């Protein structure tokens, strides 16, 4: 019972902890105040408790697909908010950050962490509440606290390891991690929609369960890290690639368009002269 609680709570905590670590590192680069973190954590925790308390009613929505649709919505919002945050950071000059863009980044960070805490928090609350009146509750609570501590520690270590790197290396590492998170979120969202038959299911494009089983400890840890699926369907893979592409494109588009705009403006100035 104790090991199961550790792994499950760690899996639920790790995703949010890693996102927080990366966003804090990006926040340091753009000289943000980081006040968005307590706002997102407190508001997300409160909403998670409310949703967990009402999950019996929510799950009956849309012909008993309410819980899956709600989680899919949160995951899609996280993916889009990550892409917007990356676009904003790509347009912010670290030496002369614009207050308006820095504030917009803070709002994106609040949305990302809020949705992550709500989604993961309600799962943790529902899991713990299932053992509340059993003799195993103390063991489950202890295991949950241990799993939470491990996940939070990994997020802290990630933050400090990113901050210790030089500016270009930190930016590249944060971009890669955020792109993987976005792809993971969109892929998970697609999987939930497949489970409730809102998206057509199809045969998997590969099967790596003999190498790394999803139920193994390593497989369960890979799931929040990179969205590991032993038997992904083509539409899941496409969703993952789309999420990665959105974030990568959001990073490079601000570098492309100013140059195009400059090329268009220069001939006009020459004619005026």
Give every CB contact of residue 240 below 8 A, 6+ residues apart in sequence: 183, 184, 186, 187, 227, 232
pLDDT at 209: 87
Per residue in 131-151, pLDDT (tens digit) is 888 888 898 999 999 999 999
One of 1.20.1250, 1.10.1060, 1.10.10, 1.20.120 is the CATH number of 2-272, namely: 1.20.1250
Per residue in 36-85, pLDDT (tens digit) is 999 999 999 999 999 999 999 999 999 999 999 999 999 999 999 999 99
Per residue in 202-248, pLDDT (tens digit) is 899 999 988 888 878 788 778 877 888 888 999 999 999 999 999 99
Please state, in angstroms and rounded to a whole number, the distance separating the CA atoms of residues 106 and 99: 10
Q: What is the pTM of this model?
A: 0.89
Give yes or no for residue 95 having a pLDDT over 80. Answer: no
Please state, in angstroms and rounded to a whole number, the distance separating the CA atoms of residues 243 and 234: 14
């Amino acid at each position: 019972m104790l090991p199961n609680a550790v792994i499950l709570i760690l899996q639920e905590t790790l995703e949010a902890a890693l996102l927080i670590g990366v966003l804090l590192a990006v926040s340091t680069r753009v000289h943000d105040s980081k006040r968005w973190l307590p706002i997102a954590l407190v508001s997300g925790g409160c909403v998670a408790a409310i949703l967990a308390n009402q999950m019996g009613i929510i799950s009956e929505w849309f012909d008993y697909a309410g819980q899956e649709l709600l989680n899919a919505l949160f995951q899609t919002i996280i993916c889009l908010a990550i892409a917007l945050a990356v676009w904003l950071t790509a347009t912010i000059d670290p030496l002369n950050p614009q207050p308006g863009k820095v504030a917009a980044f803070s709002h994106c960070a609040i949305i990302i962490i809020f949705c992550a805490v709500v989604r993961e928090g309600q799962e943790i609350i529902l899991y713990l509440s299932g053992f509340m009146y059993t003799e195993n509750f103390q063991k489950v609570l202890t295991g949950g606290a241990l799993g939470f501590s491990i996940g939070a520690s990994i997020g802290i270590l990630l933050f400090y390891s990113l901050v210790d790197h030089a500016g270009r290396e930190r930016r590249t590492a944060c971009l890669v991690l955020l792109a993987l998170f976005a792809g993971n979120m969109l892929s998970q969202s697609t999987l939930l929609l497949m489970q409730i038959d809102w998206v057509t299911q199809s045969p998997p494009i590969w099967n790596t369960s003999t190498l790394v089983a999803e139920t193994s400890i390593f497989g369960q840890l890979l799931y929040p890290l990179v969205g590991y699926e032993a038997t992904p369907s083509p539409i899941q893979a496409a969703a993952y690639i789309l999420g990665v592409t959105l974030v990568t494109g959001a990073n490079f588009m601000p570098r492309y368009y100013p140059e195009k705009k400059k090329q268009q403006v220069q001939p006009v100035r020459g004619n005026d002269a």
